Amino acid sequence: MMDVQGKMRVLTNLKTGEKIFLDPTNPKVANLLKRLEKFVSLICLLGAMFMASPVFAVDVVMGAGGNLAFEPNEITISTGDVLHFVNEALYAS
């Protein structure tokens, strides 16, 4: 965790609670802080991209080729997937 106290940056070890004070006016520390902030931003972005699961659509054709059957016979879907039933040859009278 990073806090700002005046001009000093404070990194806190979440397990031990130990605090490390960093002076951003030091060029090496400033470079490290910039790289750390970019790294954290990248991890957050990648996490958001991979946590958003894609939604897949499955088409099930009813009466394909004049047969009174579903095609494909078996499908596997997950929660959030879209299932379309296509009426190809069966017409309601």
pTM score of the predicted model: 0.41
pLDDT, one tens digit per residue, over 9-68 is 788 888 888 988 888 788 888 888 889 889 999 998 888 877 765 666 777 777 766 667
- Predicted local confidence at residue 1, as pLDDT: 45
* Pair 14, 3: CB distance under 8 Å: no
Q: Hey, which residues does 62 pair with through a beta bridge? A: 70, 87
Tokens of 75: 């499908």
- Predicted local confidence at residue 11, as pLDDT: 80
